[in-house]
Amino acid sequence: MNLHHALLNTLKLKEIPRAGWLNFGLNDVESVAAHSWGVSYLSLILAPDSLNKEKVLSMSIIHDLGEALVGDITPLDGISKNEKHELEFDAIKKLTNLVSENEKIIQLWLEYEENSSPEAKFVKACDKLDMALQATYYSSKNNDFNPEEFIQSALEKIDDECMRLLASSTANGKNWL
C-alpha cells in the first residue's frame, strides 16, 4: 500500500456508520469519523491543564483509525476482544506504515487501548460522553428512541465527575434543540 492509498483508506471512516446505533435499529446514523470528531471536540474543550493536550487530541483523532479497514466491530459481531484488538492493530500498522509519525501513532493507539495513562483514561471518558450526547441527540429526533441504556452504559465507565454530570444531564435534554 502506498501513501496515497493509505490516506484514501483512512477517509473510509467518513462512510462507515457506527454499528452500535444500527444494531439498535436507528437509521441515518453518524459515521465513525463523525464520532471521532465528537470525541476530539470534547477532548479539546474539557481537557484539564494537567494533561498533555496535544497527546489527548492526537489520541482522540486516531482512537478508531483501524476501523477504516476492519469496520466498526461490536460485541454482537461474535469477535473476541483479543481478535478485535489484533485486527485493529494490524490495520493501524498498514494505514500508518508510510507515515513519518507512524510509531507515534501506533504508540498512542496502544496507550489508548491499554488505558495506560491519564490521557488515555480521559479520552476513553470523552468517548463514552460522546456516546451519551449522541444518544440524547438521536432521542430528540426520534421519540421512539430511549437513550437511557446508552447513558447508563456511559455513566458506568466515566470516573470524571464533571463528565458524569454532563452525561447524566443529557437524559433530561429531550427538548434541548
Residue 84 falls within a domain, yes or no?
yes
Q: What percentage of the chain exceeds 70 in pLDDT?
A: 95
Has residue 177 been placed in a domain?
no
Q: Which residues contact 93 (CB under 8 A, 6 or more apart)?
A: 102, 106
- The answer to whether residue 35 is domain-embedded is yes
pLDDT tens for each residue of 38-64: 999 999 999 999 999 999 999 999 999
In a domain, 103, yes or no: yes
What CATH number is given to the structural domain containing 19? Answer: 1.10.3210.10
**20 within some domain:** yes
Cα–Cα dist 131/147, whole Å: 10
**Which residue range is the domain that position 93 belongs to?**
3-172
- Residue 51 inside a domain? The answer is yes
Cβ neighbors of 23 (< 8 A, separation 6 or more) are 74, 76
pLDDT of residue 4: 86
Output the pTM of the full model: 0.91
The number of domains in the chain is 1
Could you report the per-residue pLDDT of 132-163, keeping only the tens digit for each?
999 999 988 887 888 888 888 888 888 888 88
Q: What is the mean pLDDT of the chain?
A: 91
Q: What is the CA radius of gyration of the chain?
A: 16
